[in-house]
Amino acid sequence: MADIDTLLAEVIDGDADATTLGRVADLVRTDAATKDRFLAHVAIAGALRARYLPATRLADLRQRTLANLVSADDLAHTGRSVLDRLPARPAPAVRRSWWVPLGFAAAAALLTVVLLIPKTPPAASLLAGNDGAVLMRQRSLVPLTLSMPLNNGDRLTSGPQPLTLGFLDGTQVVLAADSALILERVAAGKRLRLERGQMQTEVAKQPEGEPLLALTTRTAVTVIGTQFQLATAKGSDFVAVQAGSVTVQRGADGALATVTGGRALVIGINQPLNTIAITTPAAGTPRGPLALSTANWNGTGSGLRGDYYADHKFTRLAGSRIDPHIRFDWPGAPLDTMPADHFTVRWSGRIQPRVSGVYTFTLRADDGVRLWIDGKPLIDTWNRPDIADQRGSISLEAGQLYDLQLHYFENDKAGEITLWWQAAGQTKEIVPRSQLYSP
């Protein structure tokens, strides 16, 4: 008899013949363990299929569904019900409605008219990244589709992926994930207002006297033609220039600075506008999605000291070691010398920021945590553990070393803890080993 695993694999991976189906059906009918295994595998295969579904399939379903929408009002007029029973067997993916042929005829007529009108390319359009993104246009939400023209006043909020915008003159803007941008003017004399997050911009040569203006609430960047990045966060902005130069003006006091290729600038409230050197990619190197260069303050650390205790009161030390970063998922005990539950860990050392500005630290922990940076308490769930992400912010100077203390306790079942940081000019990441130093 063939191995049950082989039979299950044949069915779940979708190419089982009738004999195999019959044998699996018999096993599922008669053996509860096989039934459980079958159900579990179908569920996981389905979840994997959904997770990895190609974007084209998602777009297809969206398009088909929108084409088949019939409202309750429509039904009242036509008497037709879309609530008919679903077919018992797999049906063709496209469900045609009575009005589809009519729609095609109307669309064909419209297309004929449209084709006769000379087309003017839009001043700006969406090139990539519409999944999960939102466009607010004249106080209305509009679905974002690829190649759609963008207008003055459009407000774009990216989803989990970056958005790429193209302009008629070849200028391209990549809006990082979870960022927001208002297109105040899309034609010559472009004005882009970054409300939140980061953008990478490759600006084609702009007409004389009509530079591109990139704005945040506190900074104006004037550009004739160059590659630059702009990021905004609570407390400060960040401009990095790969090639050419830009002029930066701080709104609070009108202070001006020029940032040239290979340099960057952090714009805080009371900081001098001194640029710093950055590492820029070689000419012709494809740029990643907004990986802002921070090479100038790359540290040489090797991690934090972790003291592991076999109790809740930091008294029974079970072992110490250097942990290169804080990212742990413990189904059992972290060390052989301690229990799987009811333990504590104290990490201590120093942390070195790569850029100046306000840093937001995020902790995800099961169960409780306390975090201090530079002696200041940032996060504390010690008496009220919460698996949800916890955040705390502090202003830090690039290159300086700050004391860090992190306490963690685990009650029961599995334990986990992860520490991220994020700042203007530095995307959210697990605090890397190079920026952590033992005491």
Partner 1 sequence: MNDFDPMLDALVVAEVRGGNRQAYGMLIDRYQVRLRAALSACLLHSDEIEEFTQEAFVQAFVKLEQYDSAQPFYPWVRTIAMNALRMEARSRSTATRHAGDYLRQVLLERALDDTQDERSDARVHALDRCLRTLPSDAAALLKDKYQSEHSIAELAARHRTSEGALKVRLLRLRDRLRECIEKRLTAGIG
| C-beta neighbour count of 126 within 10 angstroms | 22
Q: Which is nearer to partner 1, 82 or 255 (CB)?
A: 82
Q: Which is nearer to partner 1, 147 or 400 (CB)?
A: 147
Residues 387, 367: Cα–Cα separation, whole Å: 7
Residues 6+ apart with CB under 8 A from 308: 317, 318, 319, 320, 321, 334, 335, 338, 343, 344, 345
| Rounded least distance, CB 351 to partner 1, Å | 24
| Rounded least distance, CB 314 to partner 1, Å | 24
| Rounded least distance, CB 416 to partner 1, Å | 7
61 burial level (CB within 10 Å; 0-12, 13-18, 19+) = exposed
Angle CA 364–370–373, to nearest 5? 100
Q: Which is nearer to partner 1, 6 or 112 (CB)?
A: 6
Q: Which is nearer to partner 1, 130 or 352 (CB)?
A: 130
Q: Which is nearer to partner 1, 132 or 261 (CB)?
A: 132
Which residue, among 189, 133, 124, has the nearest Cα to 160 in the 3D structure?
133
Q: Which is nearer to partner 1, 140 or 300 (CB)?
A: 140
| Rounded least distance, CB 156 to partner 1, Å | 13
| C-beta neighbour count of 81 within 10 angstroms | 9
| Rounded least distance, CB 43 to partner 1, Å | 4
Which residue, among 430, 410, 426, has the nearest Cα to 418 in the 3D structure?
430
Q: Which is nearer to partner 1, 85 or 119 (CB)?
A: 85
Residues 6+ apart with CB under 8 A from 33: none
| Rounded least distance, CB 33 to partner 1, Å | 13
Residues 114, 284: Cα–Cα separation, whole Å: 39
Q: Which is nearer to partner 1, 148 or 204 (CB)?
A: 148
Mapped onto helix, strand or coil, the DSSP state of residue 283 is coil
User: In the Cβ-directed half-sphere of 222, how many Cα atoms lie within 13 Å?
Assistant: 13
| Rounded least distance, CB 426 to partner 1, Å | 21
221 burial level (CB within 10 Å; 0-12, 13-18, 19+) = buried
| Rounded least distance, CB 236 to partner 1, Å | 25
